[in-house]
Amino acid sequence: MARPTSMRDRLVRVTAPTAALCAVLLSLGGCLGTDIARRATAPQAELTPPAAVPGAPLPAPAAPPMPAAGGIGRIGSGAVKVALVLPLTGQGATVGAAMRNAAQLAYDEAQQPDLTLLVEDDRGSPDGAREATQEALRQGAEIVLGPLFAGNVQTAAAAARAAGKPVVGFSTDVTVASRGVYLLSFLPQPEVDRVVEDSVAGGKRSFAALIPETAYGNAVEAEFREAVARKGARVAAVERYPAGAPGPAVERLTRVIAGPGATADALFIPETADALPGVAAALTKAGFSPARIRPIGTALWNEPSLFALPALQGGRFASPDRTGFSNFSGRYQARFGAVPPRVASLAYDAVMLAAALSRRYGSQRFAESTLTNGSGFAGIDGTFRFRPDGQSERSLAVYEIRNNAAIPVSPAPRVLAKPGI
């Protein structure tokens, strides 16, 4: 990813700290910094691998630098205590260190808010997450940000629930979401909804699907069927296949996606960047033409190595707008000398949200009604909101693959539709 010019660097340093905090509260209305923050500042480990942001990243060390000894425990010294539970050792430690750095960046760009971030190491394990959460609660934490992995969110949530405190977790596994346990992450379900909505708006009425027999495939199949039905379209056929072996399923699906008798006009392929080339090759061999039947997918497709695959030309996928993360990445690299992992923005947004809610809502800052405000909040990766069931919704853009690139064809909406629509 190219480093910003010196003039842009100066502009970001001036505007980002003041604009980012204002932008996180869409629900306030009339916040003059909102549009500025979208331009100046700008959420997958269990189910969804991080989606890459196209560009030429700067060379990065193997892991982001950790804070000096003694600097892990706390960030800030404000009156409002917030737990930040991350894997700083053990499984996921490299990502956890980057998320800790992103939290520090958010705190600084929020202009030293009245927060104390109690940074606790969950050691990448459920037991560690429970102990880390209990320790932060003992120190007076009012809300828990994290952990990253699904099992860790579950044990942290149990401890927080016993204390009557909410959790904003970073897992992509919707089964760990519940009332009071909110997921600020890149969930696949909104991506499915968005790409199906775009397809139907473009005249597609008959959908086929090739779905891997994986946890991710299981998560998106039901959402795909429901999204197609909600839009008044039909599912022509669905074929599942063992991971890494799509050939027989493609052959079975040929009757509706290839040849003169094809009845589908869109093909949903929710596959990872590593496995998608094999699926694309099987489709090409079977005579599939993306010019006749549009391939569609999720943010897993946001990987430049896929953009030259013949079977995906003209294909579309839904993903967070790239601009915000690109700007965030530039500031992160300037501060820490490393390219941040994609999920680092989640920690940034979580801290910025805690700072903004604390500044605005007083004793109700982390109440359920505050966190589930239907207007949502603006973050690095676009507008998001928490549902009462703990899942999140995001404003997503739609990209089309052509000429070895992903071109935006439908921008992410600035305002989310009313809940339930």
pLDDT tens, 63-77?
Answer: 444 443 333 589 999
User: Do residue 240 and residue 286 come from a single domain?
Assistant: yes
Q: Which domain holds residue 171?
A: 74-186+342-390
- Answer yes or no: do 346 and 307 share one domain: no
User: Which element (helix H / strand E) includes 226?
Assistant: helix 215-230
Number of domains in the chain: 2
Strand order in the sheet with 115-121: 74-75, 115-121, 80-86, 144-145, 167-169, 181-183
Distances (CA, A) of 412 to 32, 58, 117, 180: 20, 27, 31, 27
Q: Are residues 202 and 305 in the same domain?
A: yes
With a cut of 50, say whether residue 304 has pLDDT above it.
yes
Give the H/E segment covering residue 117: strand 115-121
Whether residues 276 and 227 fall in one domain: yes
Average the pLDDT over 191-211 and give the result: 97
Answer yes or no: is 266 within a domain. yes
Q: Are strands 206-212 and 115-121 parallel, antiparallel or unpaired?
A: unpaired
Answer yes or no: are the C-beta atoms of 56 and 3 closer than 8 Å.
no
Task: Confirm whether 216 is domain-assigned.
Answer: yes
Q: Is residue 355 part of a domain?
A: yes
**Would you call 44 exposed, middle or buried from its count of C-beta atoms within 10 A (0-12, 13-18, 19+)?**
buried
Cα–Cα distance for residue pair 393/395, rounded to 1 Å: 7
Same domain, 109 and 196: no
Co-location of 172 and 210 in the same domain: no
Tell me 33's DSSP state: T
* Same-domain pairing of 303 and 205: yes
Residue pair 294/266 in contact (Cβ under 8 Å)? The answer is: yes
Is 44 among the domain residues? no
Residue 111 DSSP label: T
User: Is 197 in contact with 416 (CB distance < 8 Å)?
Assistant: no
Q: How far apart are CA 335 and CA 328, in angstroms?
A: 11
| pLDDT surpasses 60 at 320 | yes
Q: Where are the beta strands (DSSP E) in 191-302?
A: 206-212, 234-241, 266-268, 294-297
Q: pLDDT at residue 138 above 80?
A: yes
Could you tell me if 93 and 100 are in contact, meaning their C-beta atoms sit under 8 angstroms apart?
A: no
Report pLDDT digits (tens) over 359-370. 999 999 999 999
pLDDT score, position 90: 96
Query: To which residue do tokens 């599912």 refer?
Result: 235
Q: Work out the mean pLDDT of the chain and round it to a whole number.
A: 85
Closest CA to 67 of 349, 335, 344: 335
pLDDT in tens, 258-285: 988 899 999 999 999 999 999 999 999 9
Q: What is the CATH number of the domain that holds 156?
A: 3.40.50.2300
Statement to judge: residues 152 and 168 lie in one domain: yes
Whole-number pLDDT of residue 420? 55
Q: Which of 4-8, 21-25, 392-396 has the highest mean pLDDT?
A: 392-396
User: Who contacts 315 (Cβ-Cβ below 8 Å, separation ≥6)?
Assistant: 290, 294, 295, 296, 297, 301, 400, 401
**Tens-digit pLDDT profile for residues 326-343:** 999 999 999 999 999 999
- Report which of 325, 357, 414 is spatially closest to residue 102, judged by C-alpha positions: 325
* Domain assignment of residue 61, yes or no: no
Categorise residue 362: left if φ over 0, alpha if ψ from -120 to 50, beta otherwise. left
Q: Are residues 260 and 401 in the same domain?
A: yes
CA dihedral of 27, 33, 38, 43, whole degrees rounded to 10? -50
Between the alpha carbon of residue 219 and those of residues 27, 34, 171, 363, 409, the distances in Å are 30, 34, 14, 37, 26
Q: Please indicate, yes or no, whether residues 180 and 194 belong to a single structural domain of this protein.
A: no
Contacts of residue 390, defined as CB under 8 A and 6 or more positions apart, other chains included, come to 177, 178, 179, 180, 181, 182, 183
In a domain, 39, yes or no: no
> Is position 212 within any domain?
yes
Would 240 be classed as within a structural domain? Answer: yes
What's the rounded Cα separation, in Å, for the pair 144 and 158? 12
Helix (H) or strand (E) holding 119: strand 115-121
The answer on 305 and 194 residing in a single domain is yes
Q: Are 241 and 366 members of one domain?
A: no
